[in-house]
Chain A
């Protein structure tokens, strides 16, 4: 199957999902996933915008709760749940409190990355709610299940949405230099690291520095949020996937005059919101995006 043909099939998937081989020469091959035996699984959620109250979704707390319930009902609990940012709509302490209270009911351990909506004016409210002892600046890395995970923050520069900055780039370069090329790498951030759609700010200005440092690895998966829809993209050894929101969709790149909340018929809302399961087993990663529509 040609890659272009294959990409058309990627999107919401049912049980089973689609696996990409993480081994070999950087060429990915699609195959039906086998049930994970051992290995590691995690869940990504994104863009909950607690505090948003508009017709596009008048109950963002309700849809986040549905997401949490669905994850808690998974027969195999993930090793962790990562929230890739925009937990809140306006960085208000009360919004963080409400979000944290809900997210704390997840059975699996939680990792939270800020989005630009979480650091309006100052990142203080975000850090009060979600700062980790091992990540005083917000970014960090760790090894789990044979995978090297890297969590980045690209929303701290108020004049450029999507920028990592020198200090973080140095961290990334040093961190990756210590890894073997055969180690699967998974990177999390809020804003897409590549130029997905720069006219709407859907890019990271200095993301190419990170991508250059990721080139020598056999297989890299970069999972982000920000654009409230699933877009998959492959560039050599790097596979990119943005996640759906738990709150509301946004227009596909360039299909509207501007980004922003997209109104869909009420009956369709749950079908465009959801979460993502990722299973890594036998050196292959399976990405399964699941909508809240039951």
Chain B
């Protein structure tokens, strides 16, 4: 529930940030990228997106994993096999994350400033 609420807050915030500029709320668009978790690895290990982009994480492994920011700014909590979780990256920056259950699993999301409207 906590993850759901934070996702919801992110969507609302993203809507507030972008609706003023007249662009479609990016969070209501499909996810721009998917990170697959398989064989105790995040793939891709380094993902680049733009601020406001929504990213899907899918656990394709036969073991449970989490997607947990090193600074705890986001946390999927437990993702069982076939579990999915989405997060909208609002602010640009480099986000390191790991699996709380297997902390040697580490990966990165690089968030560039929002892409200009086409």
A residues whose Cβ falls under 8 Å from a Cβ of B: 54, 56, 89-92, 116-117, 120-121, 158-161, 199, 201, 257-261
Contacts and interface: CB of A to CB of B under 8 A. Distances in A.
B43 interface: no
B75 interface: yes
A258 B100 contact: no
B63 A201 contact: no
Contacts of A257: 39
Contact of B64 (A56, A117, A201): A117
B104 A201 contact: yes
**A-B residue pairs, 10 tightest by C-beta:** A90-B78, A260-B63, A121-B77, A258-B40, A120-B78, A158-B100, A161-B103, A159-B103, A120-B77, A116-B101
Interface of B: 2, 39-40, 61-64, 66, 68, 70, 72, 75, 77-78, 80-81, 98, 100-104
Contacts of A120: 66, 77-78, 100-101
Contacts of A201: 102-104
Contacts of A259: 40, 63, 102
Contacts of A121: 2, 66, 68, 75, 77-78, 100
Contact of B62 (A54, A89, A92, A117): A54
Chain B residues touching A, majority SS: loop
26 contacts: A54-B62, A89-B64, A89-B78, A90-B64, A90-B80, A91-B77, A117-B64, A120-B77, A120-B101, A121-B77, A158-B68, A158-B72, A158-B103, A159-B70, A159-B103, A160-B103, A161-B102, A199-B104, A201-B102, A201-B104, A259-B63, A259-B102, A260-B40, A260-B63, A261-B62, A261-B63
B69 to A, nearest CB: 10
Nearest to B63: A260
Contacts of B64: 89-90, 117
B100 A116 contact: yes
B81 A54 contact: yes
Contacts of B104: 199, 201
Nearest to B81: A54
B107 to A, nearest CB: 14
A148 B101 CA distance: 31
A260 B39 CA distance: 9
Given A158-B68, A260-B62, 17 more contacts: A89-B78, A90-B80, A91-B77, A120-B66, A120-B100, A121-B77, A158-B72, A158-B100, A158-B103, A159-B70, A159-B98, A160-B103, A258-B40, A259-B63, A259-B102, A260-B40, A260-B61
A116 B39 CA distance: 19
A261 B64 CA distance: 10
Contacts of B70: 159
Nearest to A53: B80
Contacts of A91: 77-78
A116 B65 CA distance: 11
Contacts of A161: 101-103
Contacts of A258: 39-40, 63
